[in-house]
A and B are shown apart, each in its own frame.
Chain A
Amino acid sequence: MKELWHNITSNQGLELAAAGILLVFAVLILVSLCISVLPKLLAWVGPMLDRKTQEDEEDTLDFELAAAAAAMHEHLNRTGK
């Protein structure tokens, strides 16, 4: 019994277990905190990103319209209609 207990203490088993539990909790608490602040962060940054995306979409829309018009124009030219 004493020898078996010695195997735990000589390998610093208790310290290892305590440190392990502490680290797993610490990392997951950090992850949890990070997720908790994420919606607030996005509420602040979100509108800026949205504005940017909307502008991009508008640009894309103009570009797509121009491309479609060009294609139509060429089609009409080719068919003569």
Chain B
Amino acid sequence: MEMLLQFYETTGFASMNGQSVLMIVIGLVFLFLAIRMKYEPLLLVPIGLGMILGNIPYPADGPALGSDDPGSVFHYIYQGVKLGIYPPLIFLGIGAMTDFSSMIANPKLILLGAAAQIGIFVTLIGALFLGFEVHQAASIAIIGGADGPTAIFLSSMMAPELMGPVAIAAYSYMSLVPIIQPPIMKLLTTKKERKIHMPPSREVSRRELIIFPIACVLITVLIVPATMPLLGMLFLGNLLKESMVTERLANTARNAMIDIVTILLGFAVGISTHGESFLTPSSLKIFVLGVSAFMLATACGVLFAKFFNLFLKEKINPLLGAAGVSAVPQSARVVQKVGQEADPQNFLLMHAMAPNVAGVIGSAIAAGVLLAVLGGAPVIEPDLDPPPPVVAEQMLETTTAQP
């Protein structure tokens, strides 16, 4: 009986509290949203289950289990986020699957991708206004870039304590793009503007596709070296794809590798999101600021396209500005849908991909600028501590027990 009681003390039920229960419920809600509603399932399933596991209490004097306990497997998985390893690897995969030809064919649409990043910097001011410290404000503002890996990368560098809510806000709002964007797009454009047809894009040669990642990486990284981990990997992935001589590598980067890293990234974010840091008024502010950032980014893109039209002979459809929010390809699909509501013969998808992929580059540049200016990148030594004695002994026993 005493042994059973002793065992009970080691179970999760013994030290369960209200905070843990609430976090487990939130994890279950994420799983429901991902599986039933199909909201960003690739990310929300690992985040949701990670969140449940990360908030199950366990005795402090037992074996190392959590992401904060050196020796635990989850601790080492979490290092990929903490040291900023996973987001660049995701960018490598994105690069290997992205076709930049629509952007190369119509370079002026790149500016729409830049305009949508204004939302990031306006949100930065909003976050400072709500009392956040400047590094935290930068981490929150990057949600407006609508780029999950960039948001995780920047927050892991600048405000790791906010990484959970920032990542969850970024991915949740990315899945809500079809709900957030259309009202703003319709509010800021007339039906006549939404009906504007775009001329067919020119064909892009193989040489242009090969030279583009090389030229682009040189320009961006030379001006903002802090973007190197993200954009360096993005363009490496794209070069693997476009060079046509490394098809095997490109295939691995855009399929197996990105899937593996997505699982690890989502799970690591989930398991490191604990109640004490997540269930705070700050998280609520982050969610409000996050949705404002998305709305502002959409509005800035659309308004800039209208402003741009003042100087253009051949007008562009201002809806394309909304695709500057780099949620690829959701925001481009939204542009297509809203455009076709005004005119069923209007096909904007391929044109919208230009500001869409420019937005990916733009948000990475914005993150690099914030990192460079604020200098918030603390030097983090790899936290690969030796396992605690209990685990070491267990490992020794297992090793010696083998024939």
Interface size bracket, A side:
20 to 34
Per-residue 0/1 for A7-47: is the Cβ within 8 Å of any B Cβ (1 yes, 0 no)?
Answer: 11001011011111101111111111111101100100010
Residue of A at shortest CB range from B231?
A27
Interface of A toward B, CB cutoff 8 Å: 4-5, 7-8, 11, 13-14, 16-21, 23-36, 38-39, 42, 46, 49
Could you tell me the dominant secondary structure of chain B's interface residues?
helix
CB pair A20 B215 closer than 8 Å:
no
- Does B228 count as interface, using CB distance less than 8 angstroms? no
Given A4-B131, A31-B219, verify A38-B208 contact (CB < 8 Å): yes
Per-residue 0/1 for B104-121: is the Cβ within 8 Å of any A Cβ (1 yes, 0 no)?
Answer: 100110110110011011
CB pair A11 B134 closer than 8 Å:
yes
Residue of A at shortest CB range from B100?
A35
How many residues belonging to B are interface residues under a CB distance threshold of 8 Å?
Answer: 41
Within 8 A of A (CB), among B116-155: 117-118, 120-122, 124-125, 128-131, 134, 137
A23 to B122 alpha-carbon distance, docked (Å): 15
Provide the residues of chain B in CB contact with A42, threshold 8 Å. 205, 207-208, 211
- Does B370 count as interface, using CB distance less than 8 angstroms? yes
Given A35-B107, A36-B107, verify A28-B365 contact (CB < 8 Å): yes
Provide the residues of chain A in CB contact with B219, threshold 8 Å. 27, 30-31, 34
A36 to B216 alpha-carbon distance, docked (Å): 12
A-B CB proximity, top 7 nearest: A17-B121, A28-B114, A35-B107, A11-B134, A32-B107, A32-B110, A13-B128
Within the complex, the shortest CB–CB distance from B232 to chain A, in Å, comes to 14
Residue of B at shortest CB range from A38?
B208
Given known contacts A8-B125, A31-B361, A32-B108, what 4 new A-B pairs fall within 8 Å (CB)? A4-B131, A31-B219, A31-B220, A32-B110
Provide the residues of chain A in CB contact with B365, threshold 8 Å. 23-24, 27-28
Given A20-B370, A24-B366, A27-B219, verify A35-B124 contact (CB < 8 Å): no
Given A27-B219, A38-B104, A42-B205, verify A32-B369 contact (CB < 8 Å): no
Most buried by B among A8, A31, A49: A31
CB pair B131 A35 closer than 8 Å:
no
CB pair B124 A16 closer than 8 Å:
yes
Task: Name the contact of A4 in the complex, choosing from B118, B129, B137 (C-beta under 8 A).
Answer: B129
